[in-house]
Structure 1
Amino acid sequence: MHKHMAIAVLALAGALAGPAARADGHYVPGVEGLQAASVPPPGVYYLGYLVNYQMDRFRAPGTSDNLPGHNRGTVTALANRFVWITPHQLLGADYGMEAIVPVMRTSLTVNAAGISDTRSGVGDVYLGPLVLGWHGPQWDAVAAAGVWVDSGSTGHPASPGKGFQSTMLTGGLTYYFDGAKTVSGSALMRFERNGKTDAGFRPGNQVTLEWGLGKSFGAWQAGLVGYSQWQTSDDSGPGASTHRASRHALGAELVYPVPGAALFLKGALYQELRAEAGTGAQPKGSLLRFTLVKAF
């Protein structure tokens, strides 16, 4: 029970590998929002995602019912994302690559499972050798592929590593409803094919959809954001069941460019409206995210 509970409540990813705001894969929804599918122009970029995920309840395995007793958790993560968009093109798109290095601290108190644990460390790293960004008069599109490497430490419920490797494919579109690009709608989808742990347990594959509807007000941008995440195949291996996890959230985001600094600041708050557990317990809570985007 402890093993599968840990699988259900820990994170990777940040960014990205970070908070436990997901079903059973590495990617944590809520780190992207407005204009999520818009790739920047050629250059080198740093994106820092500071995320705090408050788990105020846990769903019992295979249900949308809460586990009994006092069950709480907190994950604070900084996902360090490094992006290089080269001056070269591939298939008519700007070609780039990226890497994500998450650092996190997780605290879990799940009395229903006998868990009380706090750990800090570097989570599983993401390596993305393929990022493609297309740009039209009133639209942007992205496609990407990469691997979450099994590099973080494991062994405890709050350990930062997941204990398995995942392949992640990404696709998305941003559309601007006016020629001045002041009103936008975006959708970004991630698909993860999860590998096996050393014990032979394989979490089911999952799909994550992040979306945003934004409006510019001078330098500021504000809008509604949300995410949904679904487990698309059954878990397999020791202790697996046919139950599939899911979660859905709604929130708001603000974006502010710092004049003359090639810097963007973003802030978003999400509230999860629904969550269903798969093989292990599934957290449900709220996510607060601050993002710094720096161009070099």
Structure 2
Amino acid sequence: MKILKAVLFLIITSHAHGAESFIYGGPTGGTDIQNAFLPPAAGFYGALIAGMATGDRYYGDNGRIEHGVTINSNAGVAAVGLLYVYPFRIMGGSVGSSLMQDYLYGGIRANGVAQTFSGVGDMYSDILVWSKHIDDAGAGPTGVTIKVAYSMIFPTGKYNESALHSPGSNTFFYIPNVAITYLGRKDFLGDGLELDGHLFFNIPSENHADGYQSGTVADVDYAVSERFGRWQLGLAGYYAWQLGGDSENGQFVPPNGRHFSSAALGPVIAYDIPSLRANVKFKALLPVYTRNGLKTTTAYFVLSKAFK
């Protein structure tokens, strides 16, 4: 059971997978377009997220299918997020904080062992975010925006050490991260090109229930998109790789610390609704590469709205 749990653990919060668990990226659904921005006005902003993940192939240390593992997993997530932008600036930049809580459900079957799961997941928080726009020679909203943040995942979710999968990880994650967004001027395709990049370092604590220590995972989220009036269309993706090996009770987990890596790419589309001060977005991510993990296809729908 312990080996199955380590091999087959699937989480879709923070587009995360794991062996006790690999967590990479930011809030539920990851980041993509407009990822360095904070809203321009102080106040509260909310988001509702619905997502799914499905996978049926496990890839080993050589990046190839492990034919000795038979697996099928389907999971869903519903999440609510709240952002507050403070009514002051620091060094000319906006400042904010956020919380996100999700609920996970689904089923997994591995080598003849089946389990369903449901429950509250771990809480994600951007403890403090700083974002600053650098004007493009007075050309309005175009130019570069940079964002620096310190985020965390708190082990508040439902956890069961003996289960194949638990919604919670029983682990703290410390996540320094930095993002950049470039908005171009109007071009022959539409209202302007947008380039986004977001780098996370996900540093886990030890799971004291079983002595498992996951290695730090770095993750780059990115997007290339074009704006067309209220619409924004493009491609989004990520590449995550583990910097240090996993250990259990002080011993490296075979093979060689079970270093994890994963990459995915897919379409993203968003639409602004000014009359409601809202935005809707859909993103699908198709697996490109996986090492020591379950190759999964994910999709997310996000509704964001200003409250003030």
The answer to whether the 8 A contact 1:210-1:226 is kept is: yes
Q: Say whether residues 1:287 and 2:302 are aligned partners.
A: no
Alignment-mate amino acid for residue 57 of structure 1: R
Question: 5+ residue gaps in structure 2?
Answer: 136-142
Aligned equivalent of 1:189: 199
The match for 1:202 among 213, 229, 244 is 213
Map 1:118-197 to 2 at 5 A: 118-137=116-135, 138-155=143-160, 156-178=163-185, 182-197=192-207
Give the direction of change, closer, same or farther, for the CA distance of 1:30–1:146 in structure 2 (3 Å limit).
closer
Deviation at 1:136, TM superposition (A): 1.8
CA-to-partner distance for each residue in 1:73-131, whole Å, 9 max, x for gaps? 112112222110111122332111111111111311111xx531111111111233211
Alignment partner of 2:264 out of 249, 265, 268: 249
Counterpart CA distance in 1 for 2:239 and 2:24 is 15
1:35 CA drift (Å):
1.9
Counterpart position of 2:104 = 104
Shift of 1:30: 4.9
Relative contact order (alpha carbons < 8 A, sep ≥ 6): 1 or 2 greater? 1
Aligned match of 2:225: 214
Following the alignment from structure 2 to structure 1, what is the Cα–Cα distance between the partners of residues 152 and 287?
A: 27
- TM-score normalised over the length of structure 2: 0.85
Partner of 1:34: 33
The aligned residue for residue 87 of structure 1 is 87
Letter aligned with residue 173 of structure 2: S
**Residues of 2 paired with 1:99 and 1:3: CA distance?**
33
Measure, in 2, the Cα distance between the counterparts of 1:186 and 1:162: 29
What is the root-mean-square deviation in Å for CA atoms of aligned residues?
A: 2.4
CA separation in 2, counterparts of 1:8 and 1:192?
Answer: 20
1:273 aligns with 2:285: no
Name the % identity: 22
Q: Which residue of 2 aligns with 1:240?
A: 253
**Greater Rg, structure 1 or structure 2?**
2
Quick check: 1:221–1:254 contact (8 Å CA) kept in 2? yes
Query: How far apart, CA to CA, are the structure 1 residues paired with 2:125 and 2:171?
Result: 15
**Number of positions where the alignment pairs a residue of Structure 1 with one of Structure 2:** 287
Q: Does 1:53 align with 2:53?
A: yes
Q: How far off is 1:40 after superposition?
A: 1.7
Residue 39 of structure 1 aligns to a residue in which SS? coil
**Are 2:279 and 1:264 equivalent residues in the alignment?**
yes
